[in-house]
């Protein structure tokens, strides 16, 4: 018996038998598990689809419900003179739904139309101009058929798609009231994302041409997701108006999902609602199968112990080799980290060097112009001259500040920019209107590169025409997690190359802090500079 058990061929044969038995059992349990998983996953995906479909229809029904409420309110008006008294109620109803951030209403008397735009802001609303593309869309939509009372459409404008809805109410005095909303589909996507951040399943919307209207991946909005051949599943949903589903690999989640498609009607728009649910299963749903795994666990332990007994020496050798490889890998990682830290230090030193060059550039040229303006003020307006000297001293105190980190709070930068802008207004007069500032309160305590606002304002003055006939309007506004400094684009032809030291400094500072979102350039008839908040 000892000689039999000592025979290596015999042990190898026993090992093969055990492996074969283990494999057969594993296949059997795997088949049972897959059947149960498919059953539960299908049921779960169907329930999730139903819940998502109900929520989505309720969300869009709320939009139409606000339009209906507005129509009922306006039908009680006798003439257009009552509009002013009802303006607060009109604005409240238009912005009642949190998905609506931009709305408008207009009064049409004879051939005259007066538009009023309403934008949601923190703590209330603000009036704004109605975009020309909305006015053109309204005019085209209602002129096609005089009996139309509602129109809605998807319009591509600038960098996004917009869901536009308009309604018309005729008053007894033959005047008309038009109203509606403009929903940026990228903002709508953000709203739905905030509503259900923790949900495992996700939904998307496409129109009847396969163009994406809403998706968790913002980059897909406005792009064509599906080929619309007659054989495609989503095309059949459009034609047959019935719910269909299929199992696909989600490029967004990078896992297999059960995907449901159903027709979705919003006003005159025909869309397709898609709901993707991961093919997962909860432990309580497969408790009956765990009994099989217990047997497999005991058998697996026996097999592993047996294999360890005969392979210990080999594994020990491999373990030693892996330790050596790991040691070399750790050394390489340490060297890589040292190089990265060195690169970061060099990036910071470069940003501080650019800041020093920027300070040196500001000092003599700006001081010369400031003294010229002060000389003219001393006799004309002594009080203003004294204020000018105070502002100038504060500006240079801030410029000469030894800021080692290269960052300042938004509040400090705004204060410095307003003092600097005051000096420029004395110099340019009516050619430089007051600085428009609209900054969210929560942004004021965040940080920006030192002298960043002054740098952008100085570039705008240097490169654009500033005159009474062509005044330069400069605005500083909050947009998402960044500040946007914009001015009307009226480029001068006599500007020498400045070397772009200011912009180079800003780019270097943002690179040092690992932020690559800084950008600038001409957009439509404005020049904009985007400063990410740190």
**What's the pLDDT band for 284 if we cut at 50, 70, 90?**
very low
Contacts of 293 (CB under 8 A, 6+ apart): 29
pLDDT at 489 exceeding the cut of 60: yes
Q: Which residue(s) pair with 224 in the sheet?
A: 211
Per-residue pLDDT band at 272 (split at 50, 70, 90): very high
CA torsion, points 85, 90, 95, 96, in degrees to nearest 10? 100
Over residues 336-346, the pLDDT tens digits come to: 776 666 656 65
Examine the pLDDT at 31 and tell me if it is beyond 50: yes
Q: How confident is the model at residue 278 (pLDDT cuts 50, 70, 90)?
A: confident
pTM over 0.75: no
State pLDDT tens for residues 382-391. 777 677 777 7
Cα–Cα dist 263/270, whole Å: 7
User: How many C-beta atoms lie closer than 10 Å to residue 508's C-beta?
Assistant: 21
At 1 the pLDDT is 43
pLDDT at 365: 55
Local confidence band at 297 (pLDDT 50, 70, 90 cut-offs): low
* Predicted pLDDT at 117: 93
| 53 has a pLDDT exceeding 60 | yes
Q: Please, which pLDDT band fits residue 100 given cuts at 50, 70 and 90? A: very high
What does the mean pLDDT of the chain come to? 80
What is the arithmetic mean of pLDDT over 307-327?
Answer: 71
Both structure tokens of 425? 């207004």
- Given a cut of 50, is residue 232 above it in pLDDT? yes
213 close to 60: Cβ distance less than 8 angstroms: no
Report all structural domains of the chain as residue ranges with CATH numbers, in order of start: 75-187 (3.30.450.20), 339-532 (3.30.565.10)
Predicted confidence band of residue 6 (pLDDT cuts 50, 70, 90): very low
Q: In what order do the strands lie in the sheet with 102-109?
A: 124-128, 112-121, 102-109, 176-184, 160-170, 150-157
pLDDT of residue 440: 93
Could you give the 3-state DSSP secondary structure of residue 278? strand
| Residue 435 pLDDT exceeds 90 | yes
Q: How confident is the model at residue 28 (pLDDT cuts 50, 70, 90)?
A: confident
More confident of the two residues 1 and 133: 133
Please give the Cα distance from 121 to 514 (Å, whole number).
30
- Mutual angle of helices 83-94 and 8-74, in 10-degree steps: 170
User: How does residue 2 score in pLDDT terms, banded at 50, 70 and 90?
Assistant: very low
Give the range among 67-71, 126-130, 378-382, 465-469 with minimum mean pLDDT: 378-382
């Amino acid at each position: 018996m000892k000689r039999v058990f000592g025979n290596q061929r015999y042990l190898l044969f026993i090992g093969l038998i055990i492996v074969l038995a283990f494999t057969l059992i594993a296949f059997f349990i795997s088949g049972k598990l897959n059947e149960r998983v498919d059953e539960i996953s299908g049921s779960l995906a169907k329930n999730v689809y139903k819940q998502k479909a109900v929520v989505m229809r309720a969300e869009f029904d709320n939009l139409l419900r606000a339009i209906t409420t507005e129509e009922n309110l306006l039908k009680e008006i006798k003439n257009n003179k009552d509009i002013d008294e009802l303006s607060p109620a009109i604005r409240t109803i238009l912005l009642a739904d949190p998905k609506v951030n931009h709305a408008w209403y207009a009064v049409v008397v004879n051939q005259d139309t007066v538009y009023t735009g309403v934008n949601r802001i923190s703590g209330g609303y603000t009036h704004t101009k109605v975009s020309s593309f909305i006015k053109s869309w309204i005019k085209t939509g209602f002129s096609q058929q005089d009996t139309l009372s509602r129109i809605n459409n998807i319009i591509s404008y600038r960098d996004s798609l917009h869901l536009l809805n308009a309604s018309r109410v005729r008053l007894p005095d033959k005047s008309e009231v038009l109203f509606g909303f403009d929903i940026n589909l990228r903002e709508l996507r953000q709203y739905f994302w905030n509503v259900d951040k923790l949900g495992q399943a996700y939904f998307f919307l496409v129109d009847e041409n396969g163009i994406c209207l809403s998706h968790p991946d913002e980059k897909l909005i406005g792009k064509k997701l599906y080929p619309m051949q007659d054989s495609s599943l989503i095309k059949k949903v459009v034609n047959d108006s019935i719910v269909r589903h299929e199992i696909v690999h989600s490029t967004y989640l990078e896992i297999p999902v059960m995907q449901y498609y159903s027709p979705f009607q919003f006003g005159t728009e025909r869309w397709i609602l898609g709901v993707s649910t991961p093919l997962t299963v909860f432990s309580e749903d497969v408790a009956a199968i765990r009994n099989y795994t217990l047997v497999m666990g005991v058998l697996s332990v026996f097999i592993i112990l047996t294999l360890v007994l005969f392979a210990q020496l080999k594994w020990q050798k491999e373990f030693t080799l892996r330790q050596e490889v790991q040691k070399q890998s750790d050394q390489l990682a340490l060297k890589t980290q040292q190089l990265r830290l060195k690169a970061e230090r060099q990036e910071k030193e470069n940003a501080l060097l650019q800041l020093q060059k920027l300070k040196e550039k500001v000092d003599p040229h700006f001081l010369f112009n400031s003294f010229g303006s002060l000389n003219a003020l001393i006799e004309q307006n002594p009080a203003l001259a004294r204020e000018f000297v105070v502002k100038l001293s504060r500006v240079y105190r801030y410029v000469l500040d030894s800021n080692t980190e290269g960052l300042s709070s938004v509040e400090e930068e705004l204060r410095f920019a307003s003092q600097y802008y005051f000096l420029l207004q004395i110099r340019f007069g009516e050619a430089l209107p007051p600085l428009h500032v609209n900054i969210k309160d929560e942004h004021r305590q965040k940080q920006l590169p030192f002298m960043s606002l002054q740098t952008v304002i100085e570039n705008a003055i240097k490169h654009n025409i500033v005159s009474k006939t062509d005044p330069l309007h400069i605005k500083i506004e909050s947009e998402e997690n960044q500040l946007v400094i914009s001015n009307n684009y009226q480029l001068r032809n006599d500007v020498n190359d400045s070397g772009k030291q200011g912009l180079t400094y800003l780019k270097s500072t943002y690179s040092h802090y690992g932020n690559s979102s800084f950008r600038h350039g001409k957009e439509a008839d404005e020049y904009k500079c985007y400063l990410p908040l740190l």
